[in-house]
Every structure is written in structure tokens, then in C-alpha cells.
A and B are shown apart, each in its own frame.
Chain A
Amino acid sequence: MKLIKFTKKGIYCIPGKFYLDPWFPVDYAIISHGHADHAKWGMKHYLCHDDSKAILQHRIGKDISIESLPYHIERTINGVKVSFFPAGHIIGSAQIRLEYKGFIVVFSGDYKVKNDHLTAPFEPVKCHEFITESTFGLPIYNWSEETVLQQQMHDWVLHNQSINRTSICVGYSLGKAQRIMKLLDGLSDIYVHSAIHNINEAIKSSGIILPQTKLWTADTDKTSLQNQIVIVPPALLGSNMIKRIPNAATAICSGWMQIRGNRRWQSVDAGFPISDHADWNGLISAVKATEAEKVYVTHGSQATFSKYLNEIGINSEEVITEYGTNEDENVETVTNLNAS
């Protein structure tokens, strides 16, 4: 059974006549989550999870033609049953399950297996074919427990406060920023850059409750930032806006920070390996749980991960896509000081 096809425009569902996270404009796009490399501009019609709807409207345009579904509710499109399952990646992220004449394909989008207590936790879905990401598809990536990460970040912020420093955390505005807010909630006031503030507002409009934050602008009184936390998107690293904050320490929050060389390459003070993607064991356990007979591996370490899956007896193939090119977990973007 050939339910899907990898095309130049994206992942195409043949009988359904729609695309999954296409990177070129198409008539009907089903979107896994709101990151820019998965939810692109220019589709005639969008279908996504309920919690992603406001995010897409905020990022792509208020006037797009868009519908949304909750998790686990089926919609039939040209005979193909489409449903969303939690991917645990960011708020509103979904695995897309397709079923046609009893044959099931699941597209993971991006996912994280560990529960961050913010996003609906990842649910494995049994299928015949599984399309998995592989952003951190190397055995060197093993994330610490959420409580350990939280402790490390708390220690850092408390140390900064003890010497009257402002703690600046760098993380992508959709996903990582909310995660940092959650991890640091209650330690001090949390100021956020307008890019993050706007995303927060979009998320809250779907009825989701986020920790309290204050909007940080160029006009914010500098003295009010002292000892507090400021969260900014990666594009601001090295910017004058950050440099104007007196007596600050800066930390990048990204899975790439697991590697010492990446931490040291940055001219920042600290790096915390906090990721919204599955680590090595997370990827393997997720793949195994699907019991899929065929696994397609996309963006990240696709060659390595698919080779390994084949070696452990899981039929796998690497697929080249355009995902992972301008999203936060891509090391290039994290380190790109002038990213827009």
C-alpha cells in the first residue's frame, strides 16, 4: 500500500490529495505544529490542532483559511481518516495519523517523549509506517530529568541574584520560551521580549494558562530588571538591546548545549541542554512503540539514525526534507547572531 509519497513540495498523501507540513504552497496542508519550518506561508487551506490555530494565525496571517481539530478526533478527507495525537514537542504539536483502508501511517512532526508539564504528553501510536524526526539522533544526546534541569537553572539564577545580576535566557519564542517560563516560574519577575509576548498572547487566546510575565521593551526601566529574569529569542544574542541590560549573565537553552564545544563556542555565560525534541533513547523507544514495519527518518541525523535502526532490525530509510532549517533546535539558528 502506498499511502504517502515524498515530493519536492513536501510529504503527500496520495488518496487524500493533501500534504503534511509542505514547504511549497499547496491547496491543502495539514500542519503538525507552529514552528516556521513546518507551518509555512502560502497554503490555500490549513488544518491543525486546536491549540496551534491561533499560533498559525499569528505567524502566517489572520485571514488564512484554517480549521482545527482536538486530539483523537477523526476527520475524513477523500476517504483518508486523519487524526491528531499529542507529540509533546510544543503547545499544540501533533503527530498526524492517516488511515486508509486499514493501512496506517503516522507522521511525527517534531516530538519529545519526556513530559514537560506544559504540553500534552507524547502518545505512541501503532502504525504500519512511521515518519520520525531525528534532530538529536546520536547516542550522545541523553537529556536529564526535568527536575535536574530545573535545579541547574534555579542554581544559576539564584547565584546571579546573589551578585545582583540579571539572568538572560535565550530560547526560541515558540516552545522554548514558554518552557523556560514554566521552569523558572516564581523565582523572580520574568520579562519577555515582544516576539515572545505576542506568541504568549496567541497561546493564551486558546484558553491555555501560562506563567505570568512582563513585556520587556527598549523603554523598560533598566533598574527594574536587576536580579530579574529576561527571556529573549536567539536573534537578539549579541544585540545592542541585550547589551544595554547592565550587569547581566546570559544562558542559551538548547539541546545542542549538551556538548561542551557548543557551549564554549558561544560567547555567553552558560548553556543549558533543554530540548523540545526526543533524545536518543526517546527516539528509539518512540520508534519501537509504533511497531511500524517501515520507518522513514527525516531531518537531523537521518543517515545515522536510519542506519542504526536497520542494524537493530527495524526496516528504515532516510528522507531528505526541508525541516530543521530555521527552527530553534537547529544549532545554526541558535548560534546565528543575526537570524531574523
Chain B
Amino acid sequence: MKYVSKLISDIEITNKTNDKIDAFVRYFNNAPDKDKLWLIAIFTGKRPKRPVKTSLMKQWCMEITKIPEWLFLESYSTVGDLGETMALLLPTPTHHIEKKFSDLMNEIVDLKSKSDDEKEAYIRHIWSGFEVQERLIFNKLIGGSFRVGVSKKTLVNALSKYSGVEANQLMHSIIGNWDANTISFDDLIQGKHINYDNSKPYPFCLAYALEKELHDLGNLSDWQVEYKWDGIRGQIVKRNDEIFIWSRGEELVTQQFPELVEAIEQLNGDFVIDGEILALKDNAILLFNDLQKRLNRKHVTKKLMEEVPIGFYAYDMMEWMGNDIRHTPLYERRELLEQLLSSKSTDNKTLFLSETISVKNWQDLIPIRAEARSRDSEGLMLKQKNSPYHTGRKKGDWWKWKVDPLTIDAVMIYAQKGSGRRSAHYTDYTFAVKKDDGLVTVAKAYSGLTNEEIIEVSRFVKKNSIEKFGPVRTVKPELVFEIAFEGIALSNRHKSGVALRFPRISRWRKDKPVDEIDTIENVKQLIHSPN
């Protein structure tokens, strides 16, 4: 346990990615192999099922500390995390238990089948011999997610630095099927359980924001124009009957999108294609937030798949039948892509070709871009038809031409403390616009303010709370903010009758009095209006 505890401390004691990587490398140098495997398992979501109800743990903690429930809850609301609250509340350990991390993990796995009495005895035993930091880790391992500000990518980069094995191969290895108790550490990092040749991705070709006048781009006929979609960039690799989906951040997200894997299985041949994963329901694109629900889960449930079905808009092909075709011109790659997708079955509601837009001259694109939002698109993409599939960002061949965000002025009416690192401040706000003589909520936003502004708003919230509903404060409607968003649609689920797409605070309108905020009628007029 001492190595893991040291690792977590070291990671949290720096905000420099290289220091974090070095901390992992130190861990891999020092910890026993079994401990390394379990650590990788935890960081890649291979955590054991929760063996004990958190309500029971809370109960035991209150019994040990002899504090009343209201005080426990008050503490919890300040800390913002249950496992940490308990770690801080519990008394100083009476002795020290030193345990191998792998042994601890196996004990946690075994705990699941034990009786409640046995569970209680075990947890009280551990609590009595772990100091605060170890208790925190233990509680988080039992209770659920443990965020330490380290992405899979950072872990993989550390493993790569430690072992010399290529990072993407390690990504495939650690995501792949393995069990900490049966595989050896060396086999895992050498990828003995996988065939990396089947998953190896290409670096994504990235676009720049358009910085020229349209007519400076030359002949329109040299350009392929598409809608720009606001989803997750995805690279699908199909080789030798294995399918892998890579995200822009070079993480494997295959397990998060089972219906996409199923759709790809129906296509013949081996290929690598590039496109956008979108939440798609009844031909409408859902909010990015909905799509994120899919990403944040280790296991995608059937219910979630029905709630947030996804689709893939394919727009490029980098490999066909084992041949790297990135150097061939875009129009040829596009032809191959179209051929590939024409072989999909007609009932396939997941795979689509990202359609191209043909117009006669550049000027015709201006109204199309302006109306992009009505198609749930965030603008246009302009791609040189003769361009190769570049490695990374290369200026000149791929341009993104986004629509400007829509904005409204709204007043803050509810505030809530954030969680995790934001738990000391009111960071989550709900905004309202005028409706008849009152106000109606239109959006929730979490981001867009500087730390200084968050502190200032928090102070206002503390002084101007009208009511308290659990963690939510109703505040005097006084602070006006400009809210920017990417799109707007009518919605029955929202009291205001509208849903905003990706709302965020664009600025604090200290200059604007509350009676000058927008009305719900103003807001509805934005639906499908060009900007």
C-alpha cells in the first residue's frame, strides 16, 4: 500500500504532467509486479464491483466517530466527496497495517460475497490501521470512482517511458482483455494477449479555423464542403475481424459504442476510417452532454443505449485492404469511402456518410453556413480535394468555418457548490429570463468564469441566499450574465419550452440591470434564425 499511497500523494502534489509521469515511473520501478497490474486495472476502469453499500459505511463511520447524522452531512457537503469525508472524520489510526496493494484489492474482491457482519469487521479493521491518505484511497476503491486528474493517456505515456513500448500499443494492451491475477506484468506491457497490428491507429488530420476570405481559397471546384459536426472525433480500425474505435485523445473507446461495432461488423473488408460520433435519436442530434454520458461509463447499459443512441458520420478513409492510402488525394479516398458505405445494409441506422455540399460559387455557402444550426451542425468544413490525409495539424488543406455562438442575457437564480476540486465554491449556476411578470429558467452553466469571478459570485451567493434546497441556494435575481450557446430547439422537457445546446457563460454583464435581460419570447425567436 505504501507505494500506491506515495504515488497518489506525488501525483496530487504537482500540476505538471511530466512530474505525474515521473511519479508513475517511480512506482513501476519500485512496486511489486502484482501491484503494478492492479494499479493499471484501477486506472483503466477494471475495478471490482462495489462490495459494500456506502450507506452502511456511512453508518459505521458515524458509530465510530460518534457524530450525529446532520453533522456528518454538513461535513459531507463541505468536502464534496463521501469517501474523503469518512477518511477525514475517522480517528487517528491506533496502529499501522502494511498491506500489498494487490492483496488489498483481492480482499476487496472477496468482500462482495461476505456477510454484512464480516464486511463490517473487515472495514473497521482497515480503518483502524490506515492513515488519512490510505483510508481515502481505500474508501474510494470500495465506493466507486477515484479521480486523480490522470488520464489513461498519461498512464500509458508513463508506461511507455518506463518500458520503451509504443504508447498506442500500450493503450491497446491495457484496454484489452486481461486479468490482474492471471497475466504477468511483462506479458501485459509486451502485449502478449493482443495483436497490436490489428488496432494500430493513424494520427488524426486536424483542421485550422478559417482565416482567409473564401475567394482566396481558389476554385470552389477544388474543395469538398461538408457540415461540421460537434461530436467526438473517432477513428475506426477494422483488421482481421477485429474492430477498434480510437478517440482524438488516442484512447480506445470501443466498449462505449457497441452498436457502432455491430454496424461496422456488417461491412466487408479491412479498413481504417475517420469520422464523427454523434448522439443521434430520431434523426436529430442530441446535446453533446448526452453523448458524454456514453463516454463516462465503463459499461454501457441497454437503457443508456436506448436513451442516447449514437451514430457515426464517416468522412475519410486512411487504409483500405491493408494499404495505407493517406497519400492519395482526398477525392479518391472519398470514392473508396462511398463504395464501402454503399455496402451497408438498408436497416443500418448507425453508419452514415457525411454528406458533401455542392454549390455553384463561394457566396452560396454563406447562407448555408448561417443556417447550419438548423441542421444541428456547428458550421462548415472546407477540405482541399487533392490533399493527402495529413499527420496532425497542417495549415492550408482543411479549414473549419464555424458559426458564431448565439447569446442571451439572463439572470442567475440558483447556485450550487461544485464537486471535487470545485467544492469550496458556488460554481454551478442556473439562469433565467423574463416570462410574463416573473422569471423562467433557461439554462444551467458550469464554465466560463475566471477563478476570481467565481469567488466573487460565491460571496454574492452566501450573502444573498433566499432559500436552501439541499445543496441548492436560491439567490436574489441580481447578477446578469451573457450566456453563449451553440444551438436552440423547442423542448417539452424544459419548463421554458426551449433547450439550449452547450450553454456557457460568455461574460458577466455587470453593466446590465436585471430588468434589461431577455424575455423568453426573444429567446424563442432565435430558433432557426440565421445569425
Contacts and interface: CB of A to CB of B under 8 A. Distances in A.
A140 B85 contact: yes
Q: Is the interface of B mostly helix, strand, loop or mixed?
A: helix
A297 to B, nearest CB: 14
A296 interface: no
Interface of A: 138-142, 156, 249, 256, 258-265, 267-270, 301, 304, 307-308, 311, 331-332, 335-338
A266 to B, nearest CB: 8
B18 to A, nearest CB: 10
A269 B13 contact: yes
Interface stretch (B276-284, B421-429, B503-511): B421-429
Interface in B182-203: none
Contacts of B68: 308, 311
Given A139-B89, A140-B75, A140-B85, A261 B458 contact: no
B84 A259 contact: yes
Given A249-B14, A259-B423, A264-B421, A138 B455 contact: no
Contacts of A142: 88, 92
20 contacts: A138-B71, A139-B65, A140-B85, A140-B89, A142-B88, A256-B424, A258-B88, A259-B88, A260-B12, A260-B420, A261-B84, A262-B423, A262-B424, A264-B12, A268-B15, A270-B13, A270-B14, A332-B458, A332-B459, A335-B451
Interface in B49-104: 65, 67-68, 70-71, 74-75, 78-81, 84-85, 88-89, 92
Given A261-B419, A311-B68, A338-B452, A267 B15 contact: yes
Interface string B491-525: 00000000000000000000000000000000000
Contact of B423 (A261, A270, A335): A261
Interface size bucket, B side? 35 or more
Contact of A138 (B15, B74, B424): B74
Given A258-B88, A262-B424, A269 B458 contact: no
Nearest to A304: B74
Contact of B421 (A249, A265, A307): A265
3 interchain residue pairs of minimum CB distance: A264-B421, A261-B423, A140-B88
Contacts of A331: 424
B249 interface: no
A61 B19 CA distance: 46
B32 interface: no
A158 to B, nearest CB: 13
B16 interface: yes
B374 to A, nearest CB: 39
Nearest to A325: B459
B175 interface: no
A269 B423 CA distance: 18
A336 B452 contact: yes
Contacts of A308: 68, 71
Contacts of B74: 138, 301, 304
B141 interface: no
A268 to B, nearest CB: 7
B136 interface: yes
A267 B455 CA distance: 15
A117 to B, nearest CB: 22
A249 B422 CA distance: 22
